[in-house]
A = this chain, B = another copy of it.
Amino acid sequence: MRPTDLHMVVPAGGSGTRLWPLSRAANPKFLHALTGTDRSLLQATFDRLAPLCTPERLLVVTGTAHATSVIRQLPELPERNILVEPFARDSCAAIALAAAVIEERSPGAVMASFAADHLITNTAAFAEVVRHAVEGAAAGRLMTIGITPTRPETGYGYLRCSEPARPGTVQTVVEFKEKPSLEVATDYLESGRYLWNASMFLWRTDVFLAELAARRPDVHDPIRTIARAWDGDEQEAVLAEWWPTIPKVAVEYAVMEPAAAEGKVATVPGDFGWNDIGDFETLGELLGRDIGGSRVVDVTGLKDSPPVLVVDGDGVIAVPCSSRVIATLGVTDLIVVDTADAVLVCHRDRAQDIKKLTELLRERGYVAHV
């Protein structure tokens, strides 16, 4: 592989329901500046990846609803590198579309796929791990970058390695594990053999597509047909014909898990300050400023935003996203999020369950609020 053949892919989808009402179906997490700077998570992802290839070799896969925002946030990105899905068909379709389009444009290239809404603080360490993983991918393996776990997290899936995971070394992934219970997660952490699955994948496009063809022709065949038409006049017609036929399936389930069982998947453990900014607890911890035992997360970049008052309270995480005053009195361990059309008051123990509210709103027909 020539190094210039490295392509970066950023699937930009998912609404981040645990960050409702900040993150919305119509205004998802990756478009927000949850980075401690005025750059959005998507822009920070672009900033991190572009130096590892070039903007010409960086592709974003997104939905029709977000294409305009993505284009505006990433003016450096060539328009042909924004792959717009007619509607979401889960991660396998999104990643396979990117792989197949890259394969058309640059056969046998290495592609690396990273989520649009994760934060990485140590960019240099990240680049080094990517370099290692690209070597494994170029050699024909389906690579992942697993995150060295720092706590018994129950919110992530795990990768089981063949031996205790050592940073910077390529190791075989024996198995993909679903989100575990706290007890199981604690065992994972102690064993040293498990890494967090952060959905970071690297492979040669021809290798991945061959695996997909063998395991899921129902995804592979329409995707290849679409990819062949992608850069021509027939894109829309072919998409309209074939996209609706693609089954919804996650790439882990469709390809990575069965391939791991056959010893074809490997990983490079990474330890570079990764965070998926998955919930308000994380947001408060990472981006909050302390106001006497409580934390305020400034996500709007407003200079003269009104104050957050926490009187006779403690452990409040306040996220002001409108220009309103937030005032609390005599309350502890609450998450208070104020946006233009919704206010959330949630106990911190329940930060993982915010999806219940969006489901309820959807049920009752308040779709615009979700």
Given the complex of chains A and B, what is the CA–CA distance between A342 and B364 in angstroms?
A: 26
Are the C-beta atoms of A336 and B345 separated by less than 8 Å?
A: yes
Task: For chain A, give the interface size range.
Answer: 35 or more
Any B CB within 8 A of the CB of A334: yes
A-B contact pairs, 5 of them (CB 8 A): A311-B356, A324-B340, A325-B366, A328-B346, A336-B343
Are the C-beta atoms of A325 and B350 separated by less than 8 Å?
A: no
Question: Helix, strand, loop or mixed for chain A's interface?
Answer: mixed
Which residue of the partner chain, among B339, B345, B357, B366, contacts A345 with CB atoms under 8 Å? B345
Which residue of the partner chain, among B328, B339, B344, contacts A329 with CB atoms under 8 Å? B344
Q: Which residues of B contact A309 (CB under 8 A)?
A: 357, 360-361
Any B CB within 8 A of the CB of A84: no
Given the complex of chains A and B, what is the CA–CA distance between A246 and B338 in angstroms?
A: 45
Nearest-neighbour CB distance to chain B for A354, whole angstroms, equals 6
**Chain A 132-163 near chain B by CB (<8 Å), digits 1 or 0:** 00000000000000000000000000000000
Nearest-neighbour CB distance to chain B for A222, whole angstroms, equals 39
- What 10 A-B pairs are tightest by C-beta distance, nearest first? A330-B350, A330-B347, A325-B342, A329-B346, A328-B345, A327-B357, A329-B350, A326-B343, A325-B369, A338-B343
Any B CB within 8 A of the CB of A164: no
Which residue of the partner chain, among B323, B343, B346, contacts A341 with CB atoms under 8 Å? B323
The chain B residue with its CB closest to the CB of A308 is B343
